[in-house]
Amino acid sequence: MGITDLHNHTIYSYDGSNTPEEIIENAIDAGIDVIGITDHQFSVRERFFEYVAHIGRCQEKYHKHIKVLCGLEIGTRPKPLDFLSSMSEKLDYCLFESLDSDHGMDFYEFLEWSRLFRCKRGLAHTDIFLLSERYGINILKTMKEYDLFWELNISGNYVYYYDFLTNDKKRNMVRESNIQISIGSDTHWIGEFDIGRIKRAHKLVENMGRQCIFSDAMTVSKNT
């Protein structure tokens, strides 16, 4: 099973410090098998096709060393009006953020909107247990139904991940739900990159008897 890191920002984001090439080369040096670039949609905006083309060139350039995926992190506070869901066919996946914030868009509205996307979709750094409580629904069941994966964000900025690390009950619930899981470092600068945390999260997922989403992508590309 490959090591994946599906949440990384580059200079296409207002808060990113490195070029896509620097982020990818850093990941290769750290032994990552599959890396996803996920710049902020609200920073990329009209450069969307330039961004997709740039990541596409990186996929070619580094394909012998690492599988590069083109993602996008989409804010939901509020729902962006300048991103057409049809543009998502250019992407490998999208991460949606801030659904658990007080100002996030309505979750039911989000679910319907997310159906229009033509790539894999996941929730970035989202406290799904909080959302469950807020809406009084079994969110794991809903995520499974809508084919939404869930990110374990290891950046250290989100309490829900630490809670998950130490909470057997929540881990069992997630395992039994069969939702797909991703791991993201949420890197904005390679100086903060910590491969130890990424490996720890993979161990956790492995111990749950599960595999991270896209973890076999590198193997697939080597065989084709």
Is the Cα torsion angle 131, 136, 142, 146 positive or negative in sign? negative
- Within residues 46-75, the interface with Zn ion by CB under 5 A covers 73
Q: Tokens 């990186």 belong to which residue?
A: 58
Which segment (84-92, 104-112, 139-147, 183-191) binds Zn ion by CB under 5 A? 183-191
Nearest to 126 by CA among 107, 112, 109, 145: 107
Q: Please, what is the minimum distance in Å from the beta carbon of residue 9 to Zn ion?
A: 6
Question: Chain-centre distance of CA 187, in angstroms?
Answer: 12
Long-range contacts of the stretch 199-203 (C-beta < 8 A, 24+):
199/3, 200/154, 201/152, 201/154, 202/1, 202/3, 202/4
CA distance 72 to 8: 9
Angle, CA 158 vertex, CA 35 and CA 140 arms, to 5°: 80
Cβ 189 to Zn ion shortest distance, Å = 12
Q: Contact 94/88 with Cβ under 8 angstroms? A: yes
* Block residue for tokens 């809670």: 163
Which residue's CB is nearer to Zn ion, number 41 or number 142?
41
Please identify, among the stretches 17-25, 135-143, 182-190, 200-208, the one whose residues bind Zn ion according to the rule CB under 5 A.
182-190
| Site size with Zn ion, rule: CB under 5 A | 2
Nearer to Zn ion, 77 or 175 (CB): 77
Site for Zn ion in 150-179 (CB under 5 A): none
CB 90 within 8 A of CB 57: no
33 or 73, CB closer to Zn ion?
A: 73
Nearer to Zn ion, 175 or 197 (CB): 197
Tell me the closest approach of the beta carbon of residue 118 to Zn ion, in angstroms. Answer: 22
- The least distance separating Zn ion from the CB of residue 194, rounded to whole angstroms, comes to 15
Q: How far is the CB of 46 from Zn ion (least distance, A)?
A: 20
> Of 47 and 141, which CB lies nearer to Zn ion in the complex structure?
47
Q: Which is nearer to Zn ion, 100 or 186 (CB)?
A: 186
Contact segment (CB under 5 A) with Zn ion among 58-66, 76-84, 185-193, 198-206 equals: 185-193
Q: Where does this chain bind Zn ion (CB under 5 A)?
A: 73, 186
